[in-house]
Amino acid sequence: MSKLFPTQEIGSLRKPSSLLSLVKKPGISDEEKAKTRNDAALLNIRTLEETGLDIIYDGEVRRVEMYEEPVRYIDGFDFAGRVRSWDNKYYNKARVTGPVKFKGNFHEYEFKFVRKNSKKEIKVPVTGAYTLADWSYNEHYKSKEELIIALARNVLRPLIKDLVKLGAKIVQIDEPAGTSHPSEMDIFKESINESVKGINTKIVVHACFSGNDYKVLAPQMSEIKAQQYTLEFANRDAWNLGTSEKTRKGFQVLKLFKEYGYKGEIGIGVTDVHVDEIESPQLVRDRILFAAKALGDPSKIYVNPDCGLRTRSRKVAFNKIKSLVQGAGLARQKFK
């Protein structure tokens, strides 16, 4: 993208209440459900466009959740039941009981719809092989590594290939588990590289909340076949303004990326997705300016929230995005 500090979303937004209440209604027809889903997707697309973001999607409005959705459509998985994420938040965990197999592009309709209805550049998120394996019980393959590589080759690669065939220019591989096992970083690298083998499109890798501040990712970044990483920083950063080392403590690891010779793009998380307080445009600006300085090349900086904003109300989420867009504008002015 030619402009400095392009802005983008990571993926999920809280679903509109109209959609939630309708899909729970008994006796509702498939046509009505489909229409409501289309309306909800359209609402998200328009609202994200109005915030001024440069790169958008549909807030993953049709997806149950980032793990359960793909698993529903992959052979070899069998849902076991709900397991705690935290407190009383649970996810539907599956076990792998047979060879994993791609049955068809489960994001096809969604992608075509966004492509047809969006005026902006689009980035399609897909859940990565490593995360799918890590969040499942492996009760078929001899090792976790074997399962991950099977998912990368037999599911992710055909899925991404098909999306590219349909016109996807940017594919974001979501890997929240990607950096959570420091001793498995080689497997993680291999899983991405196998997933994108022979594919010619822009690949973005999103990893978040591993608890190790990407220190384990830094040495691998240049060897992973991705053009961009979208990462979380804001939740570890201070809220006061400024571009000093001390103030921008959440962004320090960017220097490590540079030390390891990483020359690609970074989508920096400037918005904490776990608090309602809205980051001011000035705070966003300072985070961007610090990141640009730390990485040494402002043209490599993209701007996004830490992660998907589904944890926030829609009002808070869109206000955070508006502020993010304004902050990127302020940062751009400093480079005029």
Partner 1 sequence: MISSYTLGIFPRSEELIEATRKHTSNLSSLFLKETKEYISLQKKAKLGYVSDPLLKWDDIFRPFAQLKSVKFAALNRIYEMNTFYRRLFFKNGVKGGGNIVKSNLAISLLPKNRTVCLPEPYTFADRHLSPKNKSKDEFVIELAKMLRKEALTLVKAGFKLIQIIGPSIAYNINKVDLDLVKEGLDILTRDVKAKTILHFYFGDVSKKIERLLDLPVSGLGFDPTSTPVASIKKYNFSEKSLAIGMVDSYMTKVENKKKCISEMNQIVSKTKPKDVFVTTNFDLEYIPKEFAQKKILVLGEIARGIKYV
The residue among 257, 260, 259 whose CA lies nearest residue 301 is: 257
Per DSSP, the residues of 104-155 read S-TTHHHHHHHHHH-SSEE-EEEE-HHHHHHTSEE-SSSSHHHHHHHHIIII
Assess 88 for contact with partner 1 (CB under 8 A).
Answer: yes
Q: Within 13 Å and on the Cβ side, how many CA atoms surround 319?
A: 11
Rounded distance between C-alpha atoms, residue 269 and residue 251, angstroms: 9
Q: Which two tokens stand for residue 21?
A: 């209440």
Of 17, 85, 222, 244, the residue at the interface with partner 1 (CB under 8 A) is 85
Of 193, 201, 235, 280, the residue at the interface with partner 1 (CB under 8 A) is 235
Assess 215 for contact with partner 1 (CB under 8 A).
Answer: no
User: Smallest distance from the beta carbon of 184 to partner 1, in angstroms?
Assistant: 9
Assess 139 for contact with partner 1 (CB under 8 A).
Answer: yes
Query: In 3-state terms, what secondary structure has residue 204?
Result: strand
Of 105, 180, 191, 243, the residue at the interface with partner 1 (CB under 8 A) is 180
Q: Is 138 exposed, middle or buried (0-12, 13-18, 19+ CB in 10 A)?
A: middle
Of 209, 242, 260, 319, the residue at the interface with partner 1 (CB under 8 A) is 209
Q: Where are the beta strands (DSSP E) in the chain?
A: 55-56, 74-86, 89-102, 121-122, 124-127, 137-138, 170-174, 202-207, 228-231, 265-271, 301-305
Stretches 18-26, 35-43, 75-83, 192-200: which one binds partner 1 (CB under 8 A)? 75-83
Assess 137 for contact with partner 1 (CB under 8 A).
Answer: yes
Assess 22 for contact with partner 1 (CB under 8 A).
Answer: no
H helix intervals, 200-313: 253-259, 281-295
Stretches 54-62, 203-211, 260-268, 277-285: which one binds partner 1 (CB under 8 A)? 203-211
Q: Which two tokens stand for residue 322?
A: 């508006």
Residues 267-296 that bind partner 1 (CB under 8 A): 274
Stretches 22-30, 53-61, 78-86, 257-265: which one binds partner 1 (CB under 8 A)? 78-86
Of 210, 220, 228, 230, the residue at the interface with partner 1 (CB under 8 A) is 210
Assess 133 for contact with partner 1 (CB under 8 A).
Answer: no
Hey, which residues does 96 pair with through a beta bridge? Answer: 77, 138
User: Smallest distance from the beta carbon of 284 to partner 1, in angstroms?
Assistant: 21
Q: Which two tokens stand for residue 153?
A: 């080759």
Assess 90 for contact with partner 1 (CB under 8 A).
Answer: yes
Query: In 3-state terms, what secondary structure has residue 39?
Result: helix
- The C-alpha angle 125, 130, 136, rounded to 5 degrees, equals 105
**Which lies closer to partner 1 via its Cβ, residue 93 or residue 285?**
93
Assess 200 for contact with partner 1 (CB under 8 A).
Answer: no
Stretches 19-27, 47-55, 87-95, 313-321: which one binds partner 1 (CB under 8 A)? 87-95
How many residues interact with partner 1 (rule CB under 8 A)?
Answer: 25
Assess 135 for contact with partner 1 (CB under 8 A).
Answer: yes
Whose structure tokens read 């001011």?
280
Assess 239 for contact with partner 1 (CB under 8 A).
Answer: no
Assess 204 for contact with partner 1 (CB under 8 A).
Answer: no
Q: Is 197 exposed, middle or buried (0-12, 13-18, 19+ CB in 10 A)?
A: middle
User: Smallest distance from the beta carbon of 66 to partner 1, in angstroms?
Assistant: 12
Assess 84 for contact with partner 1 (CB under 8 A).
Answer: yes
Which spans of this chain sit near partner 1 (rule: CB under 8 A)? 80-88, 90-91, 93, 95, 134-135, 137, 139, 177, 180-181, 209-211, 235, 274
